[in-house]
Structure 1
């Protein structure tokens, strides 16, 4: 095994510029600029350079672009997804609660091949097919409950090349397409992290937003753990969600309390929030657990504290991920235990169209951007 000690290995044969999508500030789709003359990044010590082949589209890409993470925003993602919000406090509009640096290359989902390595990284890693853990820990010294989001606090995968920490770039051996692999990092790690936090077993679990990227992942991952899965989605998507493994599918507009009854659910997994949120607590059994990793239907909710304490409920916010969460996902892939659903692919240059379709929510699974391999 050869390790580079000073200069980066593999860079001499690479182009100096690349195609990339730049986010030039908070706002609407017009803030996304497709460029063909962006400098190829250089891997530093302990880093690898990845030739990106595919990158998934996620809520976080849109939420970051429009500044939805700022406490100054109280609306649902879709209300500002295309045009942005009229007023946003840019100083806290990120995962970390700090202002973003622009221009930024977004993209939390990265599937590609290592083409160069920085010093102290074995040159034998060149050629590996990899996924990048989207919740990066190395940038914050691996401190508990701190992380950087790939494509938010640092540049991500909406480009032909991306730099990532070598220790958080995972080799994957499987027969999946690039688009399928690019569906995994953000959605599947978010879903697996919620299951990990609540220690889900062979229980009754309600998955809100079950047709989306995180929701469809949660259905599969919960079934893998032996759970009985009740999925919440629009009626038009029921058959597709049932095919993912859901035992019961409920129309998202239904009265949950009437359909399920009080104290009928062990665990709720939620990335939706919004007006239906109080019903999630009503259907939870005494001692039940609720986990959230998103609130696309609205971040503000009304909580009756009597429901919380009289039912001995546990409410969990899930962002930070223990190291084993992503490692476990790689193992599931290689063992053939999960398989994502790719609804549609787009060329990287068509990112605005992809995000518009994402906001319309007329699909099940993931939308994925295919990155051109050459500068032409």
Structure 2
């Protein structure tokens, strides 16, 4: 079937060789198209390609998770959030937590995460009305787990990073609920008290696990590469590698989640903000790995645009990775060119 290039998706099978207008051979018959291949076709002004399978046929089973899998993950996330609430209650009342309970939660969680590649869909599933602190702990543990894997850490190390990320905010159990849920801006005195959650977290994790690394991540996850963070204003390599990963996961989750004083931001635009932060505040490698592996997950997702139209993301734009090509019912909208249009929201399929 002859298909317009903007309708191609990674995984489509070429029926014929593809040549550009100068006769240069671009792609070989039988090739499974990658995102880079499609970008190359667009860059060379090629309008159509013959594919063996239509995009809808080939991707109908991959754009959405099977319903039974979705139910399993939803139950897992609900159970994890309930377990997280229990841990925060322990920390508030006793000053320590049950490490065996933490390990059980993390093993159940990461066992399922290892099977999932579409991190965007997982984040969209977590976009609910659960208490921010508990939901955020789950998200940061999950994202830290994935980032560590993408950076080449071995499975045991990835589990440790996930555990560190999951426990990074446990010190907030010692912050008053009124301050945690205050809808307005904190006063300078309140902010100084809020910053102590890193110190409280270090004490709780160290007391509970006797693990200096896990405790250090709780202490350092607000440190920044340029020394602008807290509590000690550390820079670069003075910050533990696991804390640098957790910081990236922490910022991304915080910016994409509803809070009492902040409305969530759209997932792709936050990746763009993280990209800017990676040139000073956040670790560049961890941020780049998150961006590189998240972007392909947006292809095939349904979106709402500021124009009021809904559409499907069909390709990450090689000219601007954070402003993709969107197919609506009537047109293709290149957000890299249509700068007055933006994505408002991304929907789980």
- Which of the five TM-score ranges fits, normalised by the shorter chain? under 0.3
Q: TM-score w.r.t. structure 2 length?
A: 0.27
Q: Which has the higher strand share?
A: 1
Q: Which has the higher helix share?
A: 2
Q: TM-score w.r.t. structure 1 length?
A: 0.26
Q: Which has the higher contact order (CA 8 A, sep 6+)?
A: 1
